[in-house]
């Protein structure tokens, strides 16, 4: 039986960061497929609305807005998806605001490859339960 792959969209400040994110975050082997990437949060909002991914993974500190503002804007546009933010900055206030606004997970950089696997495996477990199947 073929299992469903969930769409993931990545937003980061630089293309080199996105390339590294795609290399380090074990999405494919955990049931996700990258449906798009962007370095511009305004462009990301449009593409996320068009592609309708189940998951958006974003840097907290983007060039034109914060990842939290990106999440709010995407949701205000009617898109239903989960958000994971990552950053080297992890203040209690930022994390609290993110979770209060419905954020799914907050990853603190730097993460080593093993930690990426644990973080994505948690998402995989949640998505598998949502559809009543294992990914």
Q: What is the pLDDT of residue 67?
A: 95
pTM for the model stands at: 0.85
Q: What is the pLDDT of residue 3?
A: 63
Confidence of residue 2 (pLDDT cuts 50, 70, 90): low
In degrees, to the nearest 5, what angle opens at C-alpha 112 toward C-alphas 108 and 115?
70
Q: What is the pLDDT of residue 29?
A: 80
CATH code for the domain defined by 6-130: 3.40.50.2300
Q: What is the pLDDT of residue 1?
A: 46
- Dihedral Cα 135, 24, 42, 127, nearest 10 deg: 20
Residue 18 has pLDDT above 60, yes or no: yes
Calculate mean pLDDT across residues 95-120.
Answer: 80
Q: How far apart are CA 28 and CA 30, in angstroms?
A: 5
Count of CB atoms within 10 A of residue 47's CB?
18
The domain segmentation of the chain, as residue ranges, is 6-130
List C-alpha distances in Å: 121 to 27, 44, 60, 115: 9, 25, 21, 10
Residue 129 has pLDDT above 60, yes or no: no
Q: What is the pLDDT of residue 61?
A: 93
Q: What is the pLDDT of residue 135?
A: 41
Q: Which residue has the higher pLDDT, 112 or 104?
A: 104
Alpha helices in 6-112 (DSSP H): 15-24, 41-51, 67-76, 92-100
Percentage of the chain exceeding pLDDT 70: 81
Cβ(11)–Cβ(44) below 8 Å? yes
Residue 14 has pLDDT above 50, yes or no: yes
């Amino acid at each position: 039986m073929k299992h469903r792959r969930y769409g993931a969209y990545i937003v980061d400040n630089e293309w080199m960061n996105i390339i590294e994110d795609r290399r380090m975050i074990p999405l494919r082997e955990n049931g996700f497929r990258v449906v798009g990437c962007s370095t511009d949060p305004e462009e990301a909002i449009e593409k996320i609305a068009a592609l309708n991914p189940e998951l958006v993974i974003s840097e907290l500190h983007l060039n034109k807005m914060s990842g939290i503002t990106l999440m709010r804007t995407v949701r205000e546009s009617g898109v239903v998806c989960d958000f994971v933010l990552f950053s080297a900055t992890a203040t209690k206030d930022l994390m609290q605001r993110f979770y209060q606004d419905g954020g799914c997970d907050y990853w603190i950089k730097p993460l080593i490859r093993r930690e990426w696997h644990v973080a994505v495996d948690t998402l995989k477990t949640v998505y598998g339960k949502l559809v009543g199947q294992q990914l």
